Structure 1
Amino acid sequence: MFEEASEVFDNMFKSSFPLTFIVFIPAVLILVSPLPAEAAHEFTVYRMQQYDLQGQPYGTRNAILNTEARTVEAEVLSRRCVIMRLVDFSYERYQKALRQSAGAVVIILPKNMSTMPQDIVQQFMELEPEMLATETVVPVYFALEDDELLSIYTQTLTSSSSQGSSSAAEVLIHTATANGFQMVTSGAQSKAVSDWAITSLEGRLAGTGGEDLPTIVLVAHYDSFGVAPWLSYGADSNGSGVSMLLELARLFSRLYTYKRTHAGYNLLFFVSGGGKFNYQGTKRWLEDNLDHTDSSLLQDNVAFVLCLDTLGNGDNLHLHVSKPPKEGTAQYALLKEMETVASNQYPEVKFSMVHKKINLADDTLAWEHERFGIRRLPAFTLSHLNSHREVQRSSIMDVRSVKLSRNTKLIAESLARVIYNLTEKGAPGDLQIFTEQMQMQEEQLSSVVDWLTAQPRAAQLVDKDSSVVSTLEYHLGRYLKDVRRHYVKADKRDPEFVFYDQLKQTMNAYRVKPAIFDLLLAFCIAAYLGVIYLSIQKVVGRLYAK
């Protein structure tokens, strides 16, 4: 059999070299060509914020990615997808990728943020506002690490680091033999979302003793914020504020159920949307209640507005005011009652008042109470943060809230002392109202926090049909009367805010060989064929010579 095959090849070589060339070339290509690239890994990526606020664009402007992966250690990053791990992330490296016009940036985050060292967490939290301060055309994505993604990163790091080798030959050989990864997103280019409705909720408890009663307004915005909307869980800011408001609604609804404890104050509870976008929900609610209606609790005697914002951590409580309250007013009474309760019942808490005037020249307001202050309503914000610029208010690292139960008790006792005028009645400072059957339900408070932080609540993700809105409405309906929704949409001619889609996509990492490999392969094939051709010519020459 082998003799017959040898005879066939001998005849083919002797009879016609073009025939040999035609048959031999496809055989060589089939044998030496690399296998088609297969998807090495498919994973979910979360795009950095993209929005416009007051006409100013923020965040990344692109969402399409189809380029080769590199790590920041590579010398050339132009038109490459730069992969970074959070532990190695720095603003200088991030800026390096942007300066070199990288094709994209993918930052790999740990699955459990709480396991990260606190210094790395704090550093990243401080960098988030800087990343969002200006717009960029480079797509920026975040991904949660897994074994395969870390393997891709390790291989890419090895390939990128070798480019700094002192020997050009070593670089060329390693580049030709190493595996690369082509990163490709499955989504389309981002576009503005039209007619997006931000939803807010209100409910009330009516006081007793006449129609012209003072009203206390309790406010908390429910949306969260971070560098990536799909990773913004906002446990402290502002899951803590919403959870506290719901618990206060439950506690005072029980007091208002009984005739003996039914107070002479109307209580108005407002859960606002769009809080992280200059308090758009509150702005529209005020317009609807003060400008476009004849019957509203806000048009009557408002004792004060208390906004709850970021109250889940720390041993400090700050009452942020735009105008210090005057002695003899209800807001002054609340200030004094909080000082009394903190010193007598919770001595570990340091309570203070922080005065900051409203700066109308700023693009965004500092605190939610300033929306009310502009409309000349007495208001303040309670927070454990000393400044509105604290990075905890706008970070994807905001995943824990450990002091919420204590702070809720303190605020509930202070409000009750104001409503029932206990200090003037001679009640001691250590008197507790919410005890025994009326005590706070810590398990329920904790379960509400767990539910809120189990899902991202960025304003771009919470529409009017969202489970977040419907569940909040259900909880308010259990304790309050006249629960209703309020919607706000951006003005079509001059929009206050614009949201964009494609915030969550699927990315594929395809295992590929670099372009230099194709060139090297073509060179080897040409050289091999040249050798074969010369060998055949030499053999044929000898045959003719004989």
Structure 2
Amino acid sequence: MFEQGNEIFDVIWSSVFAYLIIGLPIFVSMSPGCLAAKEFSTFRLQQFELHGTSYGTSGSVLNLETRILPGSPIVTSPRRCYVVKLMDLTVGMYRDLLKHSVAGILIIVPADLSDISETTKEQIQDLESVMLEEATSVPVYFVKEDDDVLQLYSTVKSNADILGPTSTGFETLIHHIQGNGVQLVSSLGTSKAVTDAQITTIQGTLVGSKTTNNYPILICSHYDSMSPAAELSFGGDANGSGSVALLELARLFSHLYSGRGSSGKSGRQYSSLLFLLSGGGHFNYQGTQKYLEDQIESLDHSDLQDTRLALCLDSLSGNKNELFIHVSRSIREGTITSLLDTKENIDVDDLVIKTHVIAEALAASIYNVSGNGPAFSGSLAVSKTSVSSMLDFIVSEPRSAQLLASKNNKFVQSLRSALARFTHETSLFYMKPDKRDANLVFYDSTAGTITAYDVKPAVFDLILSIAVAAYIAVIYTALKNFHILFDKVSINRQEVNSNGLNGNNVTHGKGTKVQ
């Protein structure tokens, strides 16, 4: 019988069945207990280098548990991603998160950005400036508010409310074992520099008469926009308003330039009008700088060397009923705009009035007349319909420079086509950063998805792993010492059998004696 027991033990120990008994609980304990999953479109905080200085975030990978702000203590942890609404996030709170080197930040952007108080707008704009100015390796993501996002926020907040700020460590441990948590996993990998980026500048020309003193007039505006998240950079005012005004001016003056090099309908000698839509305006005007350098260094002696007037259009809708004129100054760093800068904040009527004022002033300069009544009225007046349609086109998609830096970008080509309708000729100029010593470097991975999993917290996995380890230890010990148990059972069984035989013999003996 003992030999049979050893044979059975050897069969079980050497079989696949034994490995399943030991290995299966390990794999079960290591796999996350996912109860549900939802995907969200998210946008990463911008990342770029300008003149050798890094801006934004270099982090992009998320696979973390969530905590809520405000409502949870900010602690240094490689596993925590803090979820916070944009309206609740302050500059001090953001810097505190970076100071503690948290593993990630998810910022919920309101669905309606127009109904925000001026105080809150200033708070958000201050925060946006800090986000780009202070480089960090912490992954920072933005997500637009919707029902699913609000449900995610509510789930994380309810977990924080159950614990409360005064919960003991033991209470927190019990909650993590019994309750569920939310884990965020991003689809983006490590960001990489865009090596084939190019900034495109579009020039359209209304050719005037060629005379000795008839120098050209340059009207320029940059078409790109800027905000902490590239895909949320619609730039209604900065610089959608400037681009719309430039296109409308080109439309108006195209009626006065009947042909190339003509003297116009009135017989006057007209200056050539150069309409310039440049890129990289928020990156120290990289597109404009490259364009001017190329024109000055050109062999055909560009007319820009003798420009009569340069008119730059930028952020025309920022102050209602006010139009500011600035004298020439040195090029400065591009001013950050805001994700609050959307079409809803643009007063079309105000933009129409300001475009009309600029057109009249420009006409007075070209004709060298003033006080003779409006030059643009009736069928030649600034059209609200035209301005509205151009504004719809300009702000129809985000215009962050890195999103428009690809070759043959569709938006840039459409913008060129729009300008070509009102000018005699159009040209494209490209600024490609020097790969050896680039002044401007863009990075990819600007947008992706984040999947939210309803899972047990990591501490639950730890407790479960300990329990499984204890289970395996008991099984291993039992199998390792099976021969001892078997020997003891065999001895006891032999003793029982021996006692049983002895009892039968005694009974049989007594019965014989009686007979």
Which amino acid is 1:298 matched to? Answer: L
CA change 1:405–1:261 in 2 (3 A) is: farther
Q: Percent identity?
A: 40
Residue-pair matches, total? 457
TM-score, normalisation: structure 2: 0.80
Q: Which structure has the larger Rg over C-alpha atoms? A: 2
* Aligned match of 1:449: 391
* Cα distance between partner residues in 2 of 1:528 and 1:205: 85
Match of 1:372 in 2: none
SS at match of 1:141: strand
Give the secondary-structure state (helix, strand or coil) at the position aligned to 1:58. Answer: strand
1:219 partner SS: strand
Contact in 2 for aligned 1:105/1:141 (Cα 8 Å): yes
Which residue pairs with 2:174 in the alignment? 173
Matches within 5 A, 1:4-15: none
Indicate the residue corresponding to 1:235 in structure 2. Answer: 236
Q: CA deviation at 1:142?
A: 0.5
Q: 2:312 aligns with which of 307, 312, 321?
A: 307
Deviation by residue 1:392-412 (Cα, 9 ceiling, x = unmatched) = x51111112112111101111
* Other structure's SS at 2:255 match: helix
- The alignment partner of 1:457 has SS state of coil
How far apart, in 2, do the equivalents of 1:122 and 1:278 lie? 24
Q: After TM superposition, list the pairs within 5 Å mapping 1:501-520 onto structure 2.
A: 501-520=444-463
CA distance in 2, matches of 1:434, 1:468: 30
Residues 405-445 of structure 1, C-alpha deviation per residue, up to 9 Å, x if partnerless?
1110111111111212222xx52xxx222111111111111
Distance (Å, rounded) in 2 between the aligned partners of 1:261 and 1:226? 47
The aligned amino acid for 1:284 is: K
2:358 alignment partner, one of 388, 392, 411: 411
Distance in 2, Cα, partners of 1:531 & 1:468: 68
Q: What is the CA deviation profile of residues 53-85 of structure 1, one whole-angstrom value per residue up to 9, with x for unaligned ones?
A: 111111101211122111233333512111111
Provide TM-score, normalisation by structure 1: 0.76
How big is the shift at 1:112? Answer: 2.5
Give the letter for the 1:202 counterpart. Q
Cα deviation for residue 120 of structure 1 reads 2.0
Q: CA deviation at 1:261?
A: 6.1
Which of 351, 355, 380 does residue 438 from structure 1 map onto? 380
1:140 is aligned to 2:82: no
SS class of match (1:88):
coil
Match of 1:108 in 2: 108
The residue matched to 2:450 in structure 1 has which SS? strand
How far apart are the structure 1 equivalents of 2:252 and 2:88? 47
The correspondence for 2:265, drawn from 248, 259, 284, is 259
Match of 1:164 in 2: 165
User: Contact conserved, 1:230 with 1:458, CA < 8 A, in 2?
Assistant: yes
CA 268–174 in structure 1, closer or farther in 2 if over 3 Å, else same: same
Asked if 1:74 corresponds to 2:72, the answer is yes
**Counterpart position of 2:428:** 485
Query: Hey, what does 2:507 align to over in structure 1?
Result: none
- Distance in 1 (CA, whole Å) between partners of 2:207 and 2:465 is 84
1:389-428 to 2 correspondences below 5 Å: 394-399=337-342, 400-402=345-347, 403-423=350-370, 427=372
**Cα distance in structure 1, aligned partners of 2:357 and 2:20:** 87
Gaps of 5+ in 2: 1-7, 259-263, 479-484, 497-515
- The answer as to 2:242 corresponding to 1:275 is no
**Contact between 2:209 and 2:270, CA under 8 Å: does it hold in 1?**
yes
1:349-393 Cα distance to aligned partner (Å, 9 max, x none):
xxxxxxxx53xxxxx6168xxxxxxxxxxxxxxxxxxxxx6xxx5
- Structure 1: where are the runs of 5+ without partners? 1-14, 323-356, 359-363, 368-388
1-structure distance, mates of 2:440, 2:50 = 5
Give the 3-state SS of the residue equivalent to 1:271 in structure 2: strand
Find the aligned partners of 2:62 and 2:43 in 1 and give their Cα distance. 13
Aligned to 1:350: none
CA distance 1:24–1:487, shift in 2 (3 Å): closer
Q: After superposition, where does 1:178-193 map in structure 2 within 5 Å?
A: 178-193=179-194
Any idea what SS the aligned residue of 2:238 has?
helix
Could you say which residue in structure 1 is the equivalent of 2:47? 50
